Chains A and B, each alone.
Chain A
Amino acid sequence: MDFSLTEEQEMLRILARDFLAKECPKAKVREMDKDGKGYDPQLWRAMAELGWIGLIFPEEYGGMAGSFMDLVVLMEEMGRNILPGPFFSTIALCALPLFEYGSSEQKTKFLPQIARGEAIWTFALAESSGRYKASEVKLRAVSEETNYVLHGCKLFVADAHVADYILVAGRTGKGKRTEDGITLFIVDAREPNVKMEAIPTIGGDRQFKVSFDRVAVPKDNILGKIGNGWDVVDFILQRAAVLKCAEICGACQAVLDMTSSYAKERIQFDRPIGSFQAIQHKLAGMLIDVEAVQYLLYQAAWGISVGSPSPWQISAAKAKANEAYQRICIEAIAAHGAIGYTMDHDIGLYYRRVKAAEFAAGDTDLHREVIAIELGLS
């Protein structure tokens, strides 16, 4: 076993940390909370120039040929700095499955565009129940000549307002299992019959209801095989769970660092509050949570990196991260006292993002179920 990052990964971490601290200070995060787009196109271009957007694409698609583990390191730093914008939607939810399941035409057409920072993508899966279950995919996709016609409605679609393309899970048929008969479509987000309505969230991120009113999608724009779309969804949810976990891990570390610093500076009863055991023990619990998330994350990510993903290790990481992020933020606010409850303090920025992170790529219950089945609880 080996827990160490490579030298290149350590360098990427430092580079990313410095770049984001400089180019995306918390003032910018706050500004983006209110911004119409919710991200800074100039910063997006700068990240493309650094090679981050195409970090793990092969060079033939304009990428840097990095590993999945490199992406995890980068996204930990994005999470630490709560970088606003569609990186997760574009890369974790769409570019990875495009590379894995796309035809060579699709890859040649779409991946270099993404790597250059010229196309934003997102993924539309959940419907009215808000659950990521195959049985809940009801959006109809009917074959008409050279097209499929999509009709239905998706909820909680991240960054849809700035997306150029939306990956949509639709039902093209029925089979023995509810997973059968699902197909993924690449939909031009600018089609007139694609309508969006914002779902205001507490996190400062952007999520939407997206309606498809008889939207015609050319058959060339099917990702993967007709009827086998759930395999792609599984692929997406596993990778995305780990990458969201990376963001959460960075965020948790940031909250721990800021709380630990505050405990050393804040004086009450003529002493730093960090000398009181009530505060120390909160912080010690937070540290244990952070490291638990970190090592579960690294193990799950490593499995993907070497081509043998372990579904239950992935689920263990995401379930733990969901719970730890919430717990750490709440403890951190308590340790700060009233200042932690203000708009001016950074902790609220993290706390308000807990729920978006939790429900991205599978909530805690979904991941616990994966583990329950693995344990043999039938």
Chain B
Amino acid sequence: MDFRLGEKELALKEEIRRFAEVELPPDWRRSTPIDGECRDFEFEISISKKLAQRGWLVMSWPEEYGGRGASLWEQTVYEMEISYWGIPGAGMGISGTQWVGPCLMMFGTEEQRKKYLPLIASGEKDGVWCTGYSEPNAGSDFANLQTRAVRDGDAYIINGQKVWTSAAHQARWCWLAARTDPNAAKKHQGISIFIVDMKSPGVTVNPILNYYGRHHFNEMFFDNVRVPASNLVGEENKGWYHLMQALAFERRSLAPITYGGFKRALEELVKYAAQTEHEGKPLSQNPVIRAKLSDLAIDLEVLRMFAFQIAWRISQGQIPVYESSRNKIMSDEVMRRVAITGAELLGIYSQVDPDSEWSKLNGTIQGAYLGFPGMAIAAGTAEIEKSIIAQFGLGLPKSY
């Protein structure tokens, strides 16, 4: 055993800190990763390009695709630190860097790799992706998706509707799950993955505002959209198995991202507690508050261990199965607890609009409070994740 970070990881942490100091405006205020809305796309893309120039954006990819062959340890530390400092741009089209790229390396064609991977690695607008999974009748029951892809010569014709699609309004490409065989014996057996150019005729994107008015996700309509057959990813009708891999990549990245951002939030709460008086004493001396913040620190540490444990499993050549779901649940739990405990500390100020000058801690806590219920649903609800753990981690029978 060894629980130290290596020299490379420690050096990287320091480099990212310096990057944040130099590249972010002094009043840069986003300190939790779940604020939801990208407010200045041009600025975020400019940072994205700088991250790419540093060789960080897709650091764990091989050099031929624009990465630098970094270990998953470095990748994990990078995600934690980027999130800690609130550096934007890393999550631009998070689909591309976190799962489209790795999936194309696993089961894309050489032509697809050569075309799309360098674009993602560049940090340019043309490397931004969205992911078309959920539909009105395919949420947790994702295999029930109805969007159709019908072969027509050297192309597929796509018709259907997607919903809750993050960043569809910014993306150049869509990683789309569609049904290619409606007569398959089981519904998950007739699904395939396609790369869709968002500029194709017949693609419509409409914003869906979340309950606090931010534009993060969208609904998408595909009306006879013609996609070249060469944009099929992996095997036709085997998309479900590829998608499970993609979801595992997605869920892996959640723990380090949550850890970094919420570690920062905890540190801010500790400072706030020390500087805020209640009945003649700083809040930090209140035993209830001390106990709650300690518990938060413990769960953050659990999240950190879980994040690195997955990196270790992968470094051993194993494929984590239930661990990604475990990390997703722990990640949501940390967000929920920081939001609720943080709001308790802020007291009456927890209701102030995060953008208002009345807001404490730059609105971090209200952002978390408003955002965490949504984040807990994205990429799989707690109920679905727990069922995955029961089935694959404990070998219990399928429950649905």
Contact = CB atoms under 8 A, between A and B. Distances in A.
Interface residues of B, number: 52
15 contacts: A69-B1, A275-B396, A277-B399, A280-B390, A281-B383, A284-B387, A287-B322, A287-B393, A291-B326, A292-B306, A299-B3, A369-B294, A375-B270, A376-B270, A377-B284
A302 interface: yes
Given A292-B302, A302-B1, A302-B3, A365 B291 contact: yes
B397 A264 contact: yes
B312 interface: yes
Contacts of A368: 290-291, 294-295
Interface string B280-306: 001011000111011101110110011
A295 B302 contact: yes
Task: Identify which of B285, B297, B309, B395 gathers the most chain A CB atoms within 10 Å of its CB.
Answer: B297
A92 interface: no
B326 A288 contact: yes
Contacts of B264: none
Chain B at the A interface: SS class? helix
A99 to B, nearest CB: 22
Interface string A280-303: 110111011001100110110011
A1 B312 contact: yes
A310 B291 CA distance: 19
Given A375-B270, A376-B270, A291 B306 contact: yes
B348 interface: no
Contact of A296 (B282, B295, B302, B312): B302
A264 B396 contact: yes
B389 interface: yes
Interface of A: 1-5, 69, 260, 263-264, 271-272, 274-277, 279-281, 283-285, 287-288, 291-292, 295-296, 298-299, 302-303, 305, 313, 316, 319-320, 365, 368-369, 371-372, 374-378
B258 to A, nearest CB: 15
A274 B397 contact: yes
Nearest to B385: A284
B297 A316 contact: yes
B329 interface: yes
Contacts of B400: 277
Given A260-B395, A283-B394, A371 B308 contact: no
B386 A4 contact: no
B383 A295 contact: no
Contacts of A369: 290, 294
B270 to A, nearest CB: 5
Interface in B1-60: 1-6
Contacts of A275: 396-399
A-B pairs, top 4 by smallest CB distance, nearest first, are A280-B390, A295-B305, A284-B386, A284-B389
B307 to A, nearest CB: 10
Contacts of B222: none
B244 interface: no
Contact of B393 (A2, A284, A299, A372): A284
Contact of A1 (B2, B282, B385): B2
Nearest to B391: A280
A153 to B, nearest CB: 28
Contact of A288 (B3, B266, B291, B329): B329
B309 A264 contact: no
A176 to B, nearest CB: 22
Contacts of B270: 375-377
A275 B299 CA distance: 29
Given A260-B396, A299-B305, A378 B3 contact: no
Given A1-B3, A319-B294, A372-B291, 18 more contacts: A1-B311, A1-B312, A3-B309, A69-B1, A260-B394, A264-B396, A280-B386, A281-B383, A284-B394, A288-B389, A291-B326, A292-B305, A296-B305, A302-B3, A369-B294, A375-B294, A377-B273, A378-B282
Contacts of A279: 396
B390 A281 contact: yes
B73 interface: yes
B396 A263 contact: yes
B301 A316 contact: yes
A95 to B, nearest CB: 23
A315 to B, nearest CB: 8
B274 interface: yes
B255 interface: no
Nearest to A367: B294
Contacts of B397: 264, 271-272, 274-275
Given A275-B399, A377-B270, A1 B389 contact: no
B257 interface: no
Contacts of B291: 365, 368, 372
A305 B322 CA distance: 30
B92 interface: no
Contacts of A4: 1, 312, 316
B330 interface: yes
A262 to B, nearest CB: 11
Contacts of A277: 383, 386-387, 399-400
Of the listed residues A283, A299, A375, the one surrounded by the most CB atoms of chain B closer than 10 A to its CB is A375
Contacts of B3: 1, 298-299, 302-303
Nearest to A286: B394
Given A287-B393, A316-B297, A2 B312 contact: yes
B216 to A, nearest CB: 28
Interface string B365-400: 000000000000000000101110111011111111
A277 B389 CA distance: 11
B302 A287 contact: no
Contacts of B330: 288, 292
A280 B399 contact: yes
A277 B396 CA distance: 10
A365 B311 CA distance: 32
Given A275-B399, A285-B386, A372-B293, A377 B1 contact: no
Interface in B131-188: none
A137 to B, nearest CB: 22
A276 B386 contact: no
A280 B302 contact: no
A378 B387 contact: no
Contacts of A281: 383, 386-387, 390
A319 B298 contact: yes
Contact of B5 (A1, A287, A374): A1
